[in-house]
Amino acid sequence: MNEVEKECFQALMGIAREMYEQMKMGKIPELKISTRTKYNIEYNEESEVWVYGDRKSIRSAKSVKGAYMLLRMAYVIGFLKEQLNVNKSSTLRELYYISENWGFAKFNEQSESDRLIEDLEILTAYQREHFHIRPEEDGATIIGPLKIRENTRRGKREIHCQEDVGEGGYQIPVNVDKVEFVECDADFVIAIETGGMRDRLVENGFDEKFNSIIVHLKGQPARSTRRLLRRLNSELGLPVVVFTDGDPWSYRIFASVAYGSIKAAHLSEYLATPSAKFVGIRPSDIVNYKLPSDKLTEQDIKALNSILSDPRFDSEFWRSEIKLQLKLGRKSEQQALAKYGLDYVTDVYLPEKLTELGVLR
C-alpha cells in the first residue's frame, strides 16, 4: 500500500474500532453521517462548490434496519481490508455479488451496496478509488488537440486525442489522476450529453474548426468524466461549457458538473468545475429558435418545481428559465436544431451561444 492507501486503511479500521468500543462499553452501536439531501448542502466560498452542511443522520442498531446497515458495513470494511492487504480491486457490481455469501448481511440490491460505499467515503474522507473499488467501464470519451501520457502494462505511452484516435475518441479511464497532460492546443472544452450530438460535432469537424476538446458525458457523467473536466479546467485553464437537452434531468447533469451532485457533495472540491457554463438547450431557445418540442410530463413538472427549491439553481438565470419552461409546458432536445439542417448546430447555434458566453471572441 502507498501512503494514501495506508491512511485510508486506518480510517476504515477506525470506523470498525468505534463500533467495537461502543459495544464493549455496553452501548448500542451507532454512527453519525451527513444527510444527503438538497436541504443539507451549502456553498463553500473558498472552494466555490456545494458541500454538505451540519445536518447528520444517525445509523443505529436500535432499529432492525439500522442494525442490518451496521452489520453490512462491518462486512464491507472487512472485505476492503483484505482487498487493500493483497493489492486487489473490485467493481461496485462485484461487491454486490460478493455479499451473496454474507448471510444476513447480504445486500438486497446494488443500490444498497453503492450507497454504503458512499457512506464510507463520507465517514473516512477518502474516495472509493482509495478502497480499490471502481465502477463498471463508463465508456465516455474525449477528442481534441490534447496529448496525454498514461501508464500501461508495458510502460508509459503518449496519445494525441485527435491524431492518434479513431472517430470514437480516447476512452476516459477510471482513474484519470494517473493521466498526465503533455501538450494542449485547445481553447476550451465542450461537454455534451448525448452521443448523437457528440457524433454530429465530430463529423462536422467542430474540434478542429474551433480548437476545442469534445467530451461525451454519456448522460449523467461518471466521476472519472467529471474529474477530467475539473482537471482540464484547473490545471490547463480551459473554459468548460456544457451542452445538454432542454429538460430538468439534463439541467441536473449540468449541475453535477458545475456545482457537484447532492449524493456526492463530499467530493465536490475534487469533481466539480464551478466555472463551467451552460450552453443549452435552454427553455428560451424553444421560443427564440422556434424549436420542435414535446409536452412536459407530470414527472418533468415535478422535477422542475424541485429544481426551483434546489439551492444550486438559486440564480436569476435559472429561475427565469425554469419558470418560462413551466409556462410553456414544453421541452426540447439537442437534435431539434436539425430542423435547420445538420450543420446548423456547429455553424450557427453553438458559435452564437459561445460568443454570448465570452468563450469565442
pLDDT in tens, 246-299: 999 999 999 989 987 766 667 777 788 999 999 989 999 999 999 989 999 999
Rounded to whole angstroms, the Cα distance separating 312 from 38 reads 8
Task: With cut-offs at 50, 70 and 90, classify the pLDDT of residue 93.
Answer: confident
Which position has the higher pLDDT, 69 or 361?
69
Give the CATH architecture of domain 3-134: Orthogonal Bundle (1.10)
Which residues does the annotation mark as catalytic?
97
Which position has the higher pLDDT, 117 or 98?
117
**Buried b / exposed e along 330-342 (16+ C-beta atoms within 10 A):** bbbbbbbbbeeee
Instruction: Check if CATH label 3.40.1360.10 holds for domain 141-356.
Output: yes
Rounded to whole angstroms, the Cα distance separating 333 from 36 reads 30
* pLDDT value of position 308: 92
Identify the CA nearest to 192 among candidates 9, 349, 53, 22: 349
Rounded to whole angstroms, the Cα distance separating 146 from 213 reads 8
* pLDDT value of position 265: 67
Q: Is the pLDDT of residue 137 over 60?
A: no
Rounded to whole angstroms, the Cα distance separating 172 from 192 reads 14
Would you list the domain boundaries of the chain? 3-134, 141-356
Task: With cut-offs at 50, 70 and 90, classify the pLDDT of residue 138.
Answer: low
H or E stretch including 141? Answer: strand 141-143
Q: Is the pLDDT of residue 72 over 80?
A: yes
Task: With cut-offs at 50, 70 and 90, classify the pLDDT of residue 48.
Answer: confident
Which position has the higher pLDDT, 138 or 121?
121
First to last CA, the chain: 49
pTM of the model: 0.74
Q: What percent of the chain has pLDDT over 90?
A: 52
* pLDDT value of position 323: 96
Mean pLDDT of the chain: 89
* pLDDT value of position 266: 74
Q: What percent of the chain has pLDDT over 70?
A: 97
Q: Is the pLDDT of residue 131 over 70?
A: yes
Side-chain half-sphere exposure of 181, counting CA atoms within 13 A: 18
Which position has the higher pLDDT, 320 or 137?
320
Residues 342-351, mean pLDDT to the nearest whole number: 92
Identify the CA nearest to 357 among candidates 146, 251, 349: 349
* pLDDT value of position 4: 85
